[in-house]
């Protein structure tokens, strides 16, 4: 019997709802989407249980699709037990996985949460069963597409072209051309319920993807901009044959519209002529973060440091209410080989946090205010160097990368080679800072990158805080509008060396863009990754996730 958690009524074992108060008795996490695929031409029928152990019970009658398969939802009666396809350690036994399920185990599929997630699989003499994460309750993409802005639609197009590249590698591009297979998760990211293998006689082409976009745009309530409409028509009529050409066009459309639009889609509209019009409510900005530093495998002490300061303000009047979140995130890497690097990094971080947090007004600090704070941090270290009469390599110094977030605006400041990356669903990974080092300086002077970085001094810093006076420090400062959920990574070179972030961002960063994911886990995994592949230097990672949510008042 099942005991209702709401009213304590006893219910038959397989009840989905309480007979007394109608509370749902099935735990959502134990419900899976099932595909029963025939082996050869055996006809299929749906039994109450999918397996002989009577672990997976069907919740509905299912439906047959065009491939002779049955799709249904099942209830896992033993959710804490390991799936059939795993061994005693929880690892999937790849040789035992039926061939029809193997595309789900491709590394790029496993790393991308927008693609179907395999829970369990097994085969009998007449059929194969696949259990996937159930997304049937999520909103359907075509319904949301019609009411979305052009910029949001372009973001979704960019997501689909990214997925197209992955699905090409596993011959499952048809998965993107079935509109019923496209869903939106709670973060408004397009995700797929299942994979559809490409027919052997005709694999899906970019033209098919263009036709899918064209169908989606037919639901749009407002006229499509002429340039986007022409582009979609060109893709749908086989004008494009190279995926990167399609991607670059979408990027151009996004760049143009991000530049033309207000900083965010939720900014207040000024309607002085109509006082009765209700202004759009700005988004609630939810900030979450995690940071971790590690000595690495070869250093005797840690010269890296990071400091985080956050604040949330709530203001309410009889006429309105407002919630604002702000955060200040500082990462410093004391220069290797400079005595007292850990002192320099800590002094810089403390100075910046104190100066900016105490003088932060109603809005994000202006460029001059940020620049002055960096100057003061440099001066604090420089003065200490002078007082202690440090010379040459004994002079203390540190790099800096700093992120300031206030509502849906952010600012970035950096000196040296510590980096800041941005990860979004629409644009993937972007490096927002350029290292202040000899190699990059040469590239800016027109030297070929391969030549610039063949020189022994290529990785020497051209700027740092502390060794020299303020005239030698010119921080790069930029401002960023936050128009979608964003994950920022602040990282020291112990993590970024050897293009480690670029090589592993899809597995170690992209999954943590979702609000439900644990950033502490992410930073720990990044440190472990850097120790495996780099490890010669101290390693520091700070993750900042910005989630934008509309206020439903």
Distance (Å, whole) CA 489 – CA 501: 10
CATH numbers and ranges of domains, the chain: 2-133 (no CATH), 139-260 (1.10.510), 284-549 (3.60.40.10)
416 Cβ partners below 8 Å, 6+ apart? 333, 398, 399, 400, 401, 435, 436, 461, 463, 464, 465
CA distances from 324 to 187, 284, 408, 508 (A): 20, 7, 9, 29
pTM: 0.63
189 Cβ partners below 8 Å, 6+ apart? 114, 159, 425, 513, 514
| pLDDT-wise least confident of 156-170, 189-203, 277-291, 416-430 | 277-291
Name the more confident of 259 and 407: 407
Nearest to 169 by CA among 529, 505, 506, 424: 506
Confidence of residue 500 (pLDDT cuts 50, 70, 90): very high
Cβ(57)–Cβ(73) below 8 Å:
no
Q: pLDDT for 400-454, tens place per residue?
A: 999 999 988 999 999 999 999 999 988 889 999 999 999 888 888 888 888 888 8
Nearest to 296 by CA among 494, 491, 504, 490: 494
| pLDDT-wise least confident of 69-73, 99-103, 187-191 | 187-191
Cβ(51)–Cβ(38) below 8 Å:
no
What phi and psi, each to the nearest 5 degrees, are found at residue 393? Answer: -70, -10
Provide the β-strand partners of residue 73: 33
Q: pLDDT for 43-75, tens place per residue?
A: 788 889 999 999 999 988 788 888 889 999 999
- By the 10 Å C-beta count (0-12 exposed, 13-18 middle, 19+ buried), 80 is classed as exposed
Q: Provide mean pLDDT across the span 380-402.
A: 91
Nearest to 49 by CA among 23, 13, 21: 13
Q: pLDDT for 213-244, tens place per residue?
A: 999 999 887 888 999 999 999 999 988 888 89
User: Percent of the chain beyond pLDDT 70?
Assistant: 88
The 10 Å CB-count burial string (b at 16+, else e) for 132-149 is: bbbbeeeeebeebbeebe
Note the pLDDT of residue 113.
Answer: 81
Note the pLDDT of residue 315.
Answer: 65
Q: pLDDT for 515-531, tens place per residue?
A: 878 999 999 999 999 99
User: Percent of the chain beyond pLDDT 90?
Assistant: 52
Provide the β-strand partners of residue 72: 34
Does the pLDDT at position 176 exceed 70?
Answer: yes
| Count of beta carbons in the 10 Å neighbourhood of residue 383 | 13
Query: Which secondary structure element, helix H or strand E, spans residue 208, and what is its range?
Result: helix 206-217
| pLDDT-wise least confident of 150-154, 262-266, 521-525 | 262-266
CA within 13 Å, CB half, 435? 19
Query: Max alpha carbon distance in the chain (Å)?
Result: 87
Note the pLDDT of residue 66.
Answer: 85
Cβ(432)–Cβ(478) below 8 Å:
yes
């Amino acid at each position: 019997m099942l005991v209702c958690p709401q009213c304590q009524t006893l219910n038959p074992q397989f009840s989905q709802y309480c007979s007394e108060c109608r509370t749902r008795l099935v735990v959502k996490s134990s419900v899976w989407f099932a595909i029963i695929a025939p082996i050869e031409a055996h006809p299929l029928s749906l039994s109450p249980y999918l397996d002989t152990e009577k672990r997976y019970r069907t919740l509905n009658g299912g439906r047959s699709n065009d491939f002779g398969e049955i799709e249904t939802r099942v209830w896992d009666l033993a959710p804490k037990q390991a799936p059939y396809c795993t061994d005693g350690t929880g690892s999937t036994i790849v040789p035992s996985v039926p061939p029809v399920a193997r595309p789900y185990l491709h590394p790029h599929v496993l790393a991308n949460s927008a693609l179907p997630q395999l829970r369990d699989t097994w085969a009998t003499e007449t059929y194969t069963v696949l259990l996937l994460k159930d997304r049937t309750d999520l909103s359907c993409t075509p319904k949301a597409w019609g009411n979305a802005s052009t910029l949001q639609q372009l973001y979704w197009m960019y997501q689909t072209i990214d997925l197209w590249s992955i699905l090409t590698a596993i011959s499952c591009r048809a998965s993107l051309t079935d509109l019923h297979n496209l869903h939106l998760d709670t973060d408004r990211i397009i995700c797929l319920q299942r994979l559809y293998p490409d027919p052997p006689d005709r694999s899906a082409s970019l033209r098919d993807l263009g036709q899918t976009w064209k169908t989606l745009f037919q639901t749009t309530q407002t006229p499509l901009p002429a340039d986007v409409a022409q582009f979609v028509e060109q893709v749908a009529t086989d004008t494009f044959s190279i995926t990167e050409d399609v991607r670059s066009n979408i990027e151009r459309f996004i760049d143009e519209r991000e530049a033309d639009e207000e900083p965010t889609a939720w900014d207040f509209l000024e309607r002085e002529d109509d006082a009765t019009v209700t202004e759009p409510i700005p988004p609630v900005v939810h900030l979450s973060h995690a940071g971790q530093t590690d000595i690495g495998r070869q250093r005797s002490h840690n010269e890296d440091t990071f400091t985080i300061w956050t604040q949330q303000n709530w203001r309410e009047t009889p006429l309105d209410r407002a919630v604002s979140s702000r955060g200040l995130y500082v990462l410093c890497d004391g220069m290797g080989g400079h005595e007292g690097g850990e002192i320099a990094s800590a002094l810089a971080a403390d100075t910046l946090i104190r100066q900016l947090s105490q003088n932060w007004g109603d809005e994000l600090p202006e460029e001059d205010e940020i620049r002055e704070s960096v100057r003061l941090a440099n001066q604090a270290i420089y003065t200490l160097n002078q007082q202690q009469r440090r010379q040459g390599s004994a002079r203390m110094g540190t790099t800096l990368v700093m992120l300031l977030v206030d509502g849906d605006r952010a600012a970035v400041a950096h000196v040296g080679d510590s980096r800041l990356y941005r990860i979004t669903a629409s644009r993937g990974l972007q490096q927002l800072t350029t290292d202040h080092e000899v190699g990059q300086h040469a590239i800016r002077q027109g030297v070929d990158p391969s030549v610039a970085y063949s020189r022994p001094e290529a990785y020497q810093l051209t700027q740092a805080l502390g060794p020299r006076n303020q005239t030698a420090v010119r921080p790069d400062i930029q401002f960023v509008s936050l128009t979608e959920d964003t994950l920022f990574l602040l990282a020291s070179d112990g993590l970024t060396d050897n293009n480690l972030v670029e090589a592993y961002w899809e597995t170690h960063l992209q999954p943590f863009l979702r609000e439900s994911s644990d950033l502490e886990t992410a930073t720990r995994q990044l440190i472990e990754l850097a120790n495996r592949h780099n490890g010669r230097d101290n390693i520091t990672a700070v993750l900042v996730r910005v989630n934008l949510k509309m206020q439903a008042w």
